[in-house]
């Protein structure tokens, strides 16, 4: 790991710790879930090129949503920035512009959050197949 990568990882860890202190553990858990969703849906198109979904939906119960947004922080943008850094460290390419949408959902199965990644509808999956040639 180069010096710049080590510095980025240190900054990311400190940002995670700050989120955890300021907003309890939910943001860190949600960010970990986003990272797993990204990693789990990575598609190797060819050697050196790994594509991942570019749209992520984070559904939160009302109380968790209120808790995370009460400081006025744009949670969606913060999660987007963190996921972008994660993808850069892993060498992933997004299947289009990255977006993380945070929404209220009263029926989240685990009562805490639900995360789902997808390729935005206007992005053709043909790019995954053409990239491998």
Q: How many domains does the chain have?
A: 1
The two tokens of residue 55 are: 């749209």
Per-residue pLDDT at 74: 82
Report yes or no on 98 lying in a domain: yes
Report yes or no on 53 lying in a domain: yes
Per-residue pLDDT at 132: 46
Per-residue pLDDT at 133: 45
Question: For 4, phi and psi rounded to 5 degrees?
Answer: -65, -40
Q: Is the pLDDT of residue 118 over 80?
A: yes
Q: Is the pLDDT of residue 5 over 80?
A: no
User: Contact, 79 vs 89, CB < 8 A?
Assistant: no
> Who's near 40: CB < 8 A, 6+ residues apart?
none
Per-residue pLDDT at 61: 87
Per-residue pLDDT at 90: 94
Per-residue pLDDT at 120: 85
| Cβ count near 123 (within 10 Å) | 17
d(CA 14, CA 19): 9
d(CA 129, CA 27): 34
Count how many Cα atoms sit within 13 Å of the Cα of residue 131 in the half-sphere of its side chain.
18
Report yes or no on 70 lying in a domain: yes
What's the CATH number where 66 sits? 3.30.2320.60
Report yes or no on 131 lying in a domain: no
Per-residue pLDDT at 17: 55
86-106 pLDDT, tens digit per residue, is 999 999 999 989 999 999 988
20-75 pLDDT, tens digit per residue, is 544 455 567 888 999 999 999 999 988 889 999 999 999 988 888 887 778 777 88
Statement: the pTM of the whole predicted model exceeds 0.85: no
Domain encompassing residue 101: 25-118
Any alpha helices (H) in the chain, and if so which ranges? 3-23, 26-40, 62-69, 75-90, 126-130
Q: How far is CA 40 from the centre of its chain?
A: 12
């Amino acid at each position: 790991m180069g010096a710049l990568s080590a510095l980025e990882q240190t900054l990311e860890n400190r940002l995670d710790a700050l989120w955890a202190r300021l907003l309890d553990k939910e943001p860190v858990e949600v960010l970990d879930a986003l990272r797993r969703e990204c990693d789990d849906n990575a598609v190797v198109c060819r050697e050196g090129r790994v594509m991942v979904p570019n749209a992520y939906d984070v559904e939160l119960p009302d109380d968790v949503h209120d808790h995370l947004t009460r400081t006025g922080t744009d949670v969606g943008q913060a999660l987007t920035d963190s996921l972008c850094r994660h993808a850069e460290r892993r060498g992933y390419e997004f299947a289009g512009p990255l977006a993380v949408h945070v929404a209220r959902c009263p029926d989240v199965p685990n009562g805490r959050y639900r995360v789902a990644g997808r390729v935005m509808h206007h992005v053709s999956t043909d790019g995954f197949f053409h990239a491998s040639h």
